[in-house]
């Protein structure tokens, strides 16, 4: 899964990138393109399965996050052509649009107003109701305004309005307010030191984790799991996908030779202490066909023959 962070100069998007990924937002070797980092999606359900099975391999969902150069007022973006930027953005599966929610004399506040005016005056492609057949035709154009949008408002370390994100108009599938500077400092700490630092600041949950889950929600993505002693893994898939699609997400051979799916929910599995026999006794260990619609948190084992 690929997410692209975009925003005007001074919006705080590079600080957001550091908070989100813990990585440096400085381009390597003077490269004018986006800075890329990979974030592993923390899922307590998957962690529970890992702790139960102690697998040789543990694979949470990985999200590639790209920090693009600031949106320009001209056709060049610090050495990167606008056309090249748009082409690269089309490869992303979702956009994280960062706007400034604090005063900074270094940058004019007009950037936020221009973004607001553009959204109010123009309608994004995704706001237009079209048939499923037309959607398939339009998909080939990969319109940026047809992609899911997640709005992040970067607010100051103290004060600021966490609800500001809810007041900005636009076709956003999810909205998050983040104290990106503080969270970037947390991300730079060793994992063992983070809890104490967060406790001192009264931070109970990092907005960066909320941002990941908001991005999943905006993109209509859920996670199903495969688990065992060899590997515990989370698989991202579109909401509404069936068991055959889930099988293909794991490997094309599983979809091609699909026989059945053995399915049970994470919540049910945890409730019985991780014992399949107890699930079967309660009738919660199910055998499903290829048209079964996979649910978020399903643990799936595909039976196949090729």
Q: pLDDT truncated to tens, each residue of the chain (306 aa)?
A: 899 998 877 888 888 888 888 887 676 555 567 888 898 988 999 999 999 999 999 999 999 999 988 765 554 555 557 778 888 888 899 999 888 887 666 664 556 554 445 446 677 767 666 667 666 766 666 777 778 888 888 888 887 788 888 888 888 888 888 888 888 888 888 888 888 888 887 777 788 888 888 898 888 999 999 999 999 999 999 999 999 999 999 999 999 999 999 999 999 999 999 999 999 999 999 999 999 999 999 999 999 998
Q: Residue 186: which of 196, 176, 177, 173 has the closest Cα?
A: 196
Look up residue 58 and give its DSSP letter. Answer: E
Residue whose structure tokens are 């102690």: 54
Cα separation, 83 vs 71, whole angstroms? 12
Cα separation, 180 vs 184, whole angstroms? 6
Does the pTM of the predicted model rise above 0.95? no
Q: Which residues contact 47 (CB under 8 A, 6 or more apart)?
A: none
Cα separation, 24 vs 2, whole angstroms? 18
Q: Residue 170: which of 207, 215, 115 has the closest Cα?
A: 115
């Amino acid at each position: 899964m690929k997410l692209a962070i975009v925003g005007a100069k001074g919006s705080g998007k590079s600080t957001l990138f550091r908070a989100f990924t813990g990585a440096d937002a400085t381009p390597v070797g003077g490269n004018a393109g986006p800075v890329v980092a990979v974030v592993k999606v923390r899922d307590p359900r998957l962690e529970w399965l890992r702790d139960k099975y102690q697998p040789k391999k543990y694979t949470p969902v990985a999200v590639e996050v790209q920090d693009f150069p600031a949106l320009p007022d001209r056709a060049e973006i610090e050495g990167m052509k606008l056309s090249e930027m748009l082409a690269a953005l089309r490869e992303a599966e979702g956009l994280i649009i960062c706007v400034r929610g604090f005063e900074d004399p270094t940058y004019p506040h007009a950037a936020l107003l221009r973004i607001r005016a553009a959204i109010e005056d123009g309608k994004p492609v995704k706001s237009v109701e079209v048939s499923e057949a037309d959607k398939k035709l339009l998909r080939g154009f990969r319109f940026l305004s047809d992609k899911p949008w997640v709005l992040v408002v970067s607010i100051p370390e103290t004060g600021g309005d966490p609800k500001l994100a809810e007041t900005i108009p636009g076709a956003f599938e999810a909205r998050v307010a983040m104290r990106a500077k503080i969270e970037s400092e947390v991300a730079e700490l060793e994992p063992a030191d983070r809890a104490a630092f967060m406790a001192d600041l009264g931070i109970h949950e990092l907005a960066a984790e909320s941002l990941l889950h908001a991005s999943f929600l905006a993109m209509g993505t859920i996670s199903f799991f495969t688990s065992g002693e060899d590997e515990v893994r989370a698989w991202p898939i579109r909401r509404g996908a069936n068991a055959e699609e889930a099988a293909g997400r794991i490997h094309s051979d599983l979809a091609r030779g699909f026989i059945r799916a053995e399915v049970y929910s994470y919540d049910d599995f945890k409730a019985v202490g991780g014992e399949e026999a107890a699930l079967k006794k309660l009738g919660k260990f199910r055998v499903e066909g290829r048209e079964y619609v996979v649910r978020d948190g399903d643990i799936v084992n595909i039976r196949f023959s090729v």
